[in-house]
Amino acid sequence: MTTVIPAPVRRIDSSGTFTLTRESTVGGDPAAAGYVAVMLGLSISDDPTVEFALGSSSAPEGYTLRITSAGIRAEADSAAGLFYAAQTLRQLLPADQATGVTSAALPITEIEDYPRFAYRGAMLDVARHFFGVDDVKKFIDNIALLKVNHLHLHLTDDQGWRIQIDSWPELTKAGATTEVGGTGGGFYSKDQYREIVRYAASLFITIVPEIDLPGHTNAASVAYPELSDIPVSPYEGVEVGFSSLAIRSETTYTFVDDVIREMAALTPGPYLHLGGDESLATTDDDFLYFIERATAIAATHGKTLIGWHEMGRSTALPAGTVGQYWSFTTPQEGADEHTLSFVRQGGPIIMSPADVAYLDIKYDASTELGLTWADGPTSIAESYEWEPTAIVPGIGEAQLLGVEAPIWTETLATIADVEYMAFPRLASIAEIAWSPAGTRDLDEFTPRLERFVGMLDALGIQHHRLDE
Ligand code: ACM
């Protein structure tokens, strides 16, 4: 029996327990030991009861965690692995000791663990509603509990432009004062954005910035009307598909080059997301022309590009461009072909099927927040019972970079709203992304989820109730 989410690869329990107390101490690798000591509310010593040590592990990001009658020892060949061992240890504690140990009887056990996929993501839409640095950090804290290692920030959309770009300063003036509902807006200065990136990295999370092009660009064109052939005005509604950059204007490509150059310079991670979805106000010819030119320009700035699956309509992508699938678990309207196109061009796929992995979709008809367009509500069971290799024929384990849970914020105005929609369904997505294929069983997951929800309560994280 395991109590941990995501379920570890292997766990062998023996009889007996080891009791961790307030007097126990932590040591080993200084950074990991420091983190674990704060997490458990214990002090550091040279002769620790809880040792977190750099050593070996059987796979990237992997770790072992052994609890014996003498103490606790975690070992990994990376700092990330030790961090994941710490998350596992926290989940072995009684929920009411998740913020500090008093006295906890832990099972004698040996856990060996490593992730199924390298990319385990969540996405936060900070364009429809803006979320400040502290809110984003809180969200980062929360997703780290589940060994999620990428946070995709949807930084630009029709309702707002949220990142300082020095060469186009109006973007964060006229372009950033709006959001859905007319409640304000906002943007990240470069220093604030760097602070988010640094904080995320301290929890082994890579920020993936998205500049959505050529549709979803009304806010950019409000700031610079020359970027659009269509007349624009500030927009605080929730419709999609009405905006487009001016595809045949050279100014557009100067803009793309400047924005991507500045974003690439701000981004230590390998990925830069260029959107490409729902460009319904762009003709097919113009879309293909734009994607070829914009991705070629973006690729000169040294990042691996990601595009929503529609970008796969182009056969002229930079080699290795990553496709992000957001159609349903039964592909709609050519989504399967567009996704396969990335693979043919040498790129892997991130799976985000909207009918099971979009966490802004209502849990059921009575959920106040959220949307229903993605094939109706998504229950916790539905968020759990899908398999990323069973969606697009030809996209199997080898073609998948990973799995991501997007959270769009048309109806989510506060970070508490975001937490309520994300939790506990993000636990489902995280387990699909981390745990071995073929092991998912809802009846076995449910008691683990109850335990995890107890930890969310102890940590003060909003969530949908399991009995709701
Ligand atoms: C999307 O939901 N338009 C990617």
358 and 403 belong to one structural domain: yes
Cβ atoms within 10 Å, residue 149? 27
**How many distinct structural domains can be found in the chain?**
2
Looking at the structure, do residues 70 and 210 belong to the same domain, yes or no? no
Q: Whole-angstrom distance between the N-terminal and C-terminal Cα of the chain?
A: 26
Q: At what angle do helices 442-459 and 79-92 cross, to 10 degrees?
A: 90
The answer to whether residues 161 and 173 touch, using CB atoms and an 8 Å cutoff, is no
Residue 4 lies in a domain: no
User: Domain end: 113, 128, 149, which one?
Assistant: 113
Give per-residue pLDDT as tens, 161-182: 999 999 999 999 999 999 999 9
Structure tokens that stand for 105 in this block = 């009887």
Residue 3 lies in a domain: no
Residue 145: pLDDT band with limits 50, 70, 90: very high
- Tell me, yes or no, whether 445 lies in a domain: no
DSSP secondary structure, 102-121, as one string? SEEEEEEEEEEE--S-SEEE
For residue 1, pLDDT over 60 is answered with no
CB atoms within 10 A of CB 166: 10
Q: Which of residues 89, 113, 137 is at a domain's end?
A: 113
**Do residue 202 and residue 85 come from a single domain?**
no
pLDDT at 2: 65
Sign of the torsion angle spanned by Cα atoms 253, 404, 363, 182: negative
Give the pLDDT mean for 258-265.
98
Question: In whole angstroms, what is the distance from residue 120 CA to residue 114 CA?
Answer: 12
Ligand 1 centroid from CA 110, angstroms: 42
Q: By C-alpha distance, which of 399, 439, 467 is closest to 6?
A: 439
CA proximity to 401, closest of 304, 300, 323? 323
Give the three-class secondary structure for 150: strand
Q: Do 189 and 53 fall within a single domain?
A: no
Tokens of 405: 């849970």
Q: Is 110 a catalytic residue?
A: no
Strand pairing of 63-68 and 103-113?
antiparallel
* Same domain, yes or no: 123 and 89: no
CA of 275 to the centre of ligand 1 (A): 8
**Six-digit token pair at 217?**
């660009």
Quick one: DSSP state of residue 188? B
Q: Are 138 and 415 in contact (CB under 8 A)?
A: yes
Q: Tell me the mean pLDDT in the region 40-63.
A: 95
Whether 278 is in the pocket of ligand 1, judged by its Cβ within 6 Å, is yes
Q: Which of 381, 268, 373, 388 is nearest to 324 (CA)?
A: 388
Domain shared by 79 and 134, yes or no: no
On whether residue 468 sits in a domain, the answer given is no
Distance, in Å, from the CA atom of 70 to the CA atom of 48, rounded to the nearest integer, reads 10
When pLDDT is averaged across residues 395-423 and rounded to a whole number, the result is: 98
- Are both 98 and 160 inside the same structural domain? no
Query: Could you tell me what percent of the chain has a pLDDT over 70?
Result: 100
Indicate which CATH number applies to the domain containing 297: 3.20.20.80
Helix (H/G/I), strand (E/B), else coil: 283: coil
CA 352 to chain centre: 10
Amino acid at 288: L
**Could you tell me whether strands 271-275 and 150-154 are parallel, antiparallel, or unpaired per DSSP bridges?**
unpaired
Instruction: Quote the tokens at residue 90.
Output: 């926290």
CA-308 nearest atom, ligand 1: 4
- Atom number, ligand 1, closest to the C-alpha of residue 408: 2
Closest CA to 315 of 352, 346, 350, 274: 346
Identify the domain containing residue 420 by its residue range: 119-440+451-459
Are the C-beta atoms of residues 187 and 158 closer than 8 Å to each other? no
Kindly state the average pLDDT of the residues 73-102: 96
Residue 241 has pLDDT above 90, yes or no: yes
Mean pLDDT rounded to a whole number for the chain: 97
Average pLDDT over residues 269-298: 98
Judge whether 175 and 223 are in contact, CB under 8 Å: yes
299-303 average pLDDT score: 98
Residue of 278, 337, 385, 450 marked catalytic: 278
Last residue of a domain, one of 98, 113, 128: 113
Q: Token match 């200065």: residue?
A: 189
Residues 32 and 84 in one domain: yes
Residue 417 in any domain: the answer is: yes
326 CA to centre of ligand 1 in angstroms: 6
Q: Residue 84 falls within a domain, yes or no? A: yes
Residue 29: which CATH number?
3.30.379.10
Residue of the nearest CA to atom 1 in ligand 1? 277
**Ligand 1 pocket check for 326: Cβ under 6 Å:** yes
Same structural domain for residues 276 and 326? yes
Same domain, 245 and 305: yes
